[in-house]
Amino acid sequence: MELGEVTVNDKVVRDPAVPVRIGKDRIAVNGSIIQKANHGYLMMNKPRGAVTTANDEKGRKTVISLLPSDRSNLSPVGRLDMASEGLLLFTNDSQWAARITSPESHVDKTYHVQIDSPGDRALLGQLLSGVLEGGELLQAKRVRKLREGQKNCWLEIVLDEGKNRQIRRMLNACGIEVLRLVRVAIGELKLGDLPKGRTRDLTNQELGRITRTMA
């Protein structure tokens, strides 16, 4: 800066402590305008079998490979394991991503889960009261039965924590096998009818609603 290569609002600035207003002040280095980074916010209907990582040492399909070529700078917000499906968010706004995944934000995450059991009242009560697994108490915020057959049923399970593989671990501790696990909502943001493997940008209204739930 001492060489005079930096200008703010067309005035040379030599002191690095001079405050600037990102997005309002005109900042240039050697005449080139420095633009505020554009943040992107995207949702994906993650298919089963895709790994939530940028690169996989085993050569498996990754969620990054499913992004449009012009959005490959975005990173997944949190994780869905390889066998899980549904709503996965992407952004290059690291602060926003950290707030969504922070346990202190208590953002509800809603899952539809098919299990190999009729899912009786005792099981639902156990998931609500919590189960110990690996020395950790795992607990659902809400749970209800959606539909059932003779040998299996679908549950809706809502979590407001972000513990690793929480639903699978809870049900496994109860002797129940998960057949399918689909995340259908994060806060008020719903997966809707987005086709599997496809992506779309969040609308300003959706972004505002989910951001307000973290306030």
Residues identified as active-site: 81
The string over 145-183, giving b where at least 16 C-beta atoms fall within 10 Å of a residue's C-beta and e elsewhere, is eeeeeeebbbbbbebeebeebbbbbbbeeeebebebbbb
- Using alpha carbons, select from 125, 127, 103 the residue that is nearest to residue 113: 127
d(CA 65, CA 198): 11
What counts of helices (H) and strands (E) characterise the chain?
Answer: 4, 15
d(CA 158, CA 49): 23
Q: Which residue type does 150 have?
A: Q
H or E element that contains 136:
strand 136-138
The residue behind tokens 């005035």 is: 11
Exposed/middle/buried for residue 43 (C-beta within 10 Å: 0-12, 13-18, 19+): buried
